[in-house]
Amino acid sequence: MSKANLLDRRQVVSTLLAHRKDAVAIGGLGASTNDMCAAGDHARNFYLWGGMGGAAMIGLGLALAQPKLPVLVITGDGEMLMGMGSLATIGLQKPSNLSIAVLDNEAYGETGGQTSHTSTAADLVGVAKACGIKDSRAVTTMAEVEAFAKAVHDVSAGPRFANVKIDSAGLERILPTRDGTYILNRIRGDLGFQPI
């Protein structure tokens, strides 16, 4: 039951990744990882099938290790709520190359669509801002998505956070590989690191 005027998640993620160049993208456990795969598999896609709540911190570790590389976390509202403390950790470290986009459908789509805290109580933009992430945006239009996608490549002006209101339509699952070691080593290989 999608509300009117909310954005289509696949269109949002396709737009975020359309001109990704050298960016590394990390998808959260759930539909955001499927959305990333639907936009096209990529050697620099970090798909999460577990470790709920960890997407933003994986992004932080990667962003600190590779400060000149754009690092983009694309996750859901439920996953972000579980790791909300990581916004404070990121606000403290201020990695200028890290961007986080939350696909907020105000529901736990993977588990039957239960209502999430963002529907009536939690304002993730407010949380991110209050945690020291100055560039925290509420996004409701595709023009704003496009502007954020462009900003991701400015690795001197982050960290930045966008909460994108999407509709809650259930979409066909496009499943990426579930082999975690392959996923991680593929990224390392693409960044030029040899196997141990």
Partner 1 sequence: MHAHADAAETAPNWPDDIFATLQRFDVRQVPYVPDAGHAKLINCVLASSTMRGIPLTTEEEGVALLAGAWAGGQRGVLLMQSSGVGNCINMLSLIPILRFPFLTLVTMRGEWGEFNPWQVPMGSTTQGVFELSGVQVLRASNAAEVPAVLQAAASQAYNALTPTAVLLSQRLIGAKVFTK
List of residues contacting partner 1 (CB under 8 A): 24, 26, 46, 49-55, 57-66, 69, 83, 85-86, 88-89, 92-93, 180-181, 183-185, 187-188, 191, 193, 196
Round to whole Å and give the CA distance between 55 and 65. Answer: 16
CB nearer to partner 1: pick between 7 and 56: 56
* CB 84 within 8 Å of CB 52: no
Alpha-carbon distances of 21 from 59, 75, 128, 173, 191, rounded to whole Å: 17, 20, 26, 25, 13
CB nearer to partner 1: pick between 69 and 138: 69
CB nearer to partner 1: pick between 37 and 166: 37
Q: What is the DSSP letter of 166?
A: B
CB nearer to partner 1: pick between 2 and 41: 41
- CB-side exposure of 106: number of CA atoms within 13 Å? 15
Smallest separation, CB 161 to partner 1 (Å):
16
CB nearer to partner 1: pick between 50 and 112: 50
Sign of the alpha-carbon dihedral angle for 153, 156, 193, 29: negative
Round to whole Å and give the CA distance between 174 and 162. Answer: 24
The structure tokens 């039951």 sit at 1
- C-alpha torsion angle, residues 16, 78, 26, 167 (rounded to 10): -20
Smallest separation, CB 155 to partner 1 (Å):
13
Smallest separation, CB 86 to partner 1 (Å):
5
CB nearer to partner 1: pick between 102 and 166: 102
Smallest separation, CB 110 to partner 1 (Å):
16
Token pair in block for residue 37: 């795969």
Smallest separation, CB 87 to partner 1 (Å):
9
Smallest separation, CB 3 to partner 1 (Å):
32
